[in-house]
Amino acid sequence: MSMALKQVFNKDRTFRPKRKFEPGTQRFDLHKKAQASLNAGLDLKQAVQLPHGEGLNDWVAVHVVDFFNRINLIYGTISDSCTDQTCPVMSGGPKYEYRWQDEHKYKKPTALSAPKYMSLLMDWIEVQINNENIFPTNVGTPFPKTFMQVAKKILSRLFRVFVHVYIHHFDRVSQMGAEAHVNTCYKHFYYFVTEFNLTDHKELEPLVKLQPRYCT
């Protein structure tokens, strides 16, 4: 890794603190297994497949947290150029605008600047993945019936970060020499959500032209 790239992915640039798995837990072991597959150079289409004998909910939970950490890092690299002035609307080009809605302040879809949307998004995801009732960490504690629904919503919203970065800030990513890293992360994400049908195909449309280039 070049010195420039090391600076790009310095921990101080991370948009939010990383969520870590507790050593000795099943989730930690699954995380290590997933990382080992990637580090061994295993084809990403194979790497995302559910390991024999493992539960789908656990596999999805591990990847949701991992993608949250990695996409946090990616957004952190361009956050200094993503401001209320440069990105007054959270969008993915002229055809796609993303409005924020939650159960608190924004009860109706609301147009926000990209950095405001990102901040609310990361805060919201942190609450979800740190909620033991949604993402249980203790062995034997069952996942709630709503887990997969929540996971799908998190992944769909994280995908919008890729859309915004690729369409509005990819020149900045390239300038910093981070293009290969971002492309690999996107490819991994894309294969995972399509393998388990975790994101609506309409949500994937803004980057559909990238699939032949990065996800063949």
Binding-site annotation: residue ranges for Zn(2+): 82, 87, 164, 169
DSSP assigned state of 186: H
Place of tokens 């990695």: 70
Q: Which tokens sit at 108?
A: 């109706």
- Distance CA(147)–CA(15), nearest Å, equals 25
- Distance CA(7)–CA(180), nearest Å, equals 15
80 in Cβ contact with 8 (< 8 Å): no
| Cα dihedral value 190, 191, 196, 201, nearest 10 | 40
97 in Cβ contact with 29 (< 8 Å): no
Binding-site positions: 82, 87, 164, 169
- Distance CA(136)–CA(176), nearest Å, equals 38
